[in-house]
Each structure stands twice: as structure tokens, then as C-alpha cells.
Amino acid sequence: MKKQEAFSDMHERARRLIDREQVEGLTPEESRWLHDHLAGCEACSACSSSTESALRALKSVSVAVPPGLASSTTLKVREEAAMLRQRRARNLWLIAGCAASWMAGVASAPLVWRGCEWVGTALALPRIVWELGFLSWWLVPAAAVGLVILWIRTRAEGEDLNGLLEAGRRSNKG
Ligand SMILES: [Zn+2]
């Protein structure tokens, strides 16, 4: 019974020394004792190598991950800021274009109205016909502008989606 206790104490001492070897190092005497024990004890030897490989993995993880993670996060933030600026500029141009086309429409409306009236009178058309002609002159550009806005929106959404996919692919790789 007493002998077995001493035996298990020996293994416990070996495990303690294995841990200390990794953290603070051992005296030459302790180191010699440990290596003698490890040479004769399979269990403690396995424990030692698994501790070593676990520590090695931990070290390589703690060194490799944060810089890669940080740089990919910075890149993503920068890309998103650029995308936002681009989208804002695009919206500004869209608003300017709409305003310009609207002003041009308003400015030329009396002229077009008079033109329609003249054509209607000359061709002896019913008033409703040339009035509809004037209305369609109003409606066609509005419809065209609406289509252009729709097209730009769809394209922008496609670009955003591509950007997201690209970023996801890159973060998966890194
Ligand atoms: Zn042992």
C-alpha cells in the first residue's frame, strides 16, 4: 500500500515538473529526474508530449490569428467606407440629373404646349388629342428617367452583392 502511494507520488511529481518545464524551466537535477522518469513511464511521456504539442498549437494560434484578423477587418472597414462614398456620389448625380431634367421639362413646357396647340389647330384635331400629345411628352421622359433610375439601382445592388461575396470569400481564405 505504502509502496503504491509512493509510486503515484512519483507520477504526480512528473506531471508537475512537465508543467513547470514549459513555464519556468527546471533545475538540472529536476530535469534529469524527469527525463529518467519519462524514459521509463509511457503514461507520463504521453502526457509530456501532449502538453508540448498543445502549447505549441496555442502559441502558433495566438501569433498567427490576431494580425490576420486585424488586417482583414481593417480592409473590410476601409472597403465599406469607400463603397459608401461611391454610393453617396452616385445618389448625388442621380438627384442632380433628375432635377435638371425636371427643370428642363418645366422650362420647355409652355413652348411644347404652344407647339401642340399649333399642330392641333393646323390639323383641325380635337382639343383632347393634342392635349394627350402634350401629356405624353411629359410622361415619356418621366418614364425614361424612372427606367434609368431602376437600372442604376439594380446595378448598384448587384455591385454591393458582389462586394459582399468577395469580402466573404477573402475572409474565409484568410
Ligand atoms: Zn509516470
pTM attached to this predicted model: 0.34
Residues with a beta carbon under 5 angstroms from ion ligand 1: 11, 14, 41, 44
Closest of 140, 132, 134 to residue 113, by C-alpha: 134
Question: Ligand 1 centre and the CA of 105: distance in Å?
Answer: 93
Helices and strands (H and E) in the chain: how many = 4, 0
Q: Is residue 85 part of a domain?
A: yes
36-46 pLDDT per residue, tens: 999 999 999 99
Cα–Cα distances (Å) from 48 to 20, 61, 75, 152, in that order, read 11, 20, 41, 64
Question: Ligand 1 centre and the CA of 48: distance in Å?
Answer: 10
Host domain of residue 119:
67-173
Percentage of residues of the chain with pLDDT beyond 70: 78
Q: Is residue 121 part of a domain?
A: yes
Q: Is residue 54 part of a domain?
A: no
Q: Is residue 34 part of a domain?
A: no
- 94 pLDDT above the threshold of 80: no
Rounded distance between C-alpha atoms, residue 107 and residue 98, angstroms: 14
Question: Ligand 1 centre and the CA of 3: distance in Å?
Answer: 14
**Average of per-residue pLDDT across 84-98:** 80
Closest of 74, 76, 84, 75 to residue 159, by C-alpha: 84
Q: Is residue 155 part of a domain?
A: yes
Half-sphere exposure of 154 (CA within 13 A, CB side): 6
Amino acid at 146: G
Q: Is residue 2 part of a domain?
A: no
Question: Ligand 1 centre and the CA of 57: distance in Å?
Answer: 24
- 5 pLDDT above the threshold of 70: no
Question: Ligand 1 centre and the CA of 47: distance in Å?
Answer: 9
Q: Is residue 160 part of a domain?
A: yes
| 170 or 62, greater pLDDT | 170
Q: Is residue 72 part of a domain?
A: yes
Q: How many domains would you assign to the chain?
A: 1
133-161 pLDDT per residue, tens: 887 776 776 777 778 877 877 777 776 66
